[in-house]
Amino acid sequence: MKSSMKTWGALITLALTLFLVVVDTTIMNVSITALVQDLNTTVSGVQAAISIYALVMAAFILIGSKLSDIFGKKRIFMLGLIFYMIGTTWASFSTNLTMLIIGWSILEGIGGALMLPNIPVLLQSNYKDGKLSFSYGIIGVVGTISAGIGPMIGSLFTTYASWRGAFLAGLLLALIIFALSRSLKQGKALEHKPKFDFLGAGLSISGWSGIVLGILPDQPEIDNPAPRKRMEFSLQQTHL
């Protein structure tokens, strides 16, 4: 058992990480109605939070990869995990949309962007030849399954518990990953560490921001309670 864990501990750690990040990107899509009611916000407001999460992930994933080359893959991976744990804890106690955006959209988004690009590189640092091919196959399967069951997990939490429980479950899984991360090898350091490209990072953030914010629909009802009242009335009619 110990020898198996020593051999496959890194794969289990990285597979759980991929599961965590992929599920996190889809789990809130099915909890919009509950979020609107609990946070006293609007559908468009929650959709904006989801879009900001995607924006942060897209803008910081290249930055996370560059930071890994400079400071080391495992260090940046662990930094991302810490960001994620702080963010999911904050999001689970959200009382308004702003808190949700800070915890989930921003902090968890940054955490995911720092962890995700390091998964294949850390696999290469921990496995060789046939074991590496097997590991890539497992990671591919986990990614596919995670994308499919994320909405179902969100539905289960929303229906039988609370959307807050989904964030707390993410925290529990992140703590397990943190405990297992000792099995990850740092990998060989680069002989010539690249310099951080501040201009490129700024262009990446501004470019992705322009794309995501440009395709967001107008949201005039965010500060208007009328759409929320119409939604509440519709829900009451459905229950009747």
- Identify whether the C-beta of residue 74 lies closer than 8 Å to the C-beta of residue 185: yes
pLDDT of residue 188: 62
* Segments in the chain below pLDDT 50: 219-240
pLDDT of residue 195: 76
pLDDT of residue 130: 86
Q: Distance (Å, rounded) from C-alpha 51 to C-alpha 235?
A: 25
- 190's CB contacts (< 8 A; 6+ apart) are 69
pLDDT of residue 30: 85
pLDDT of residue 47: 87
- Identify whether the C-beta of residue 80 lies closer than 8 Å to the C-beta of residue 112: yes
How high does pLDDT run on average in the chain?
82
What domains are there in the chain, each with its CATH number?
A: 9-184 (1.20.1250.20)
Q: Distance (Å, rounded) from C-alpha 191 to C-alpha 204?
A: 26
Residue 31 CA to chain centroid, in angstroms?
Answer: 16
pLDDT of residue 213: 67
Q: Distance (Å, rounded) from C-alpha 136 to C-alpha 54?
A: 25
Q: Distance (Å, rounded) from C-alpha 39 to C-alpha 193?
A: 45
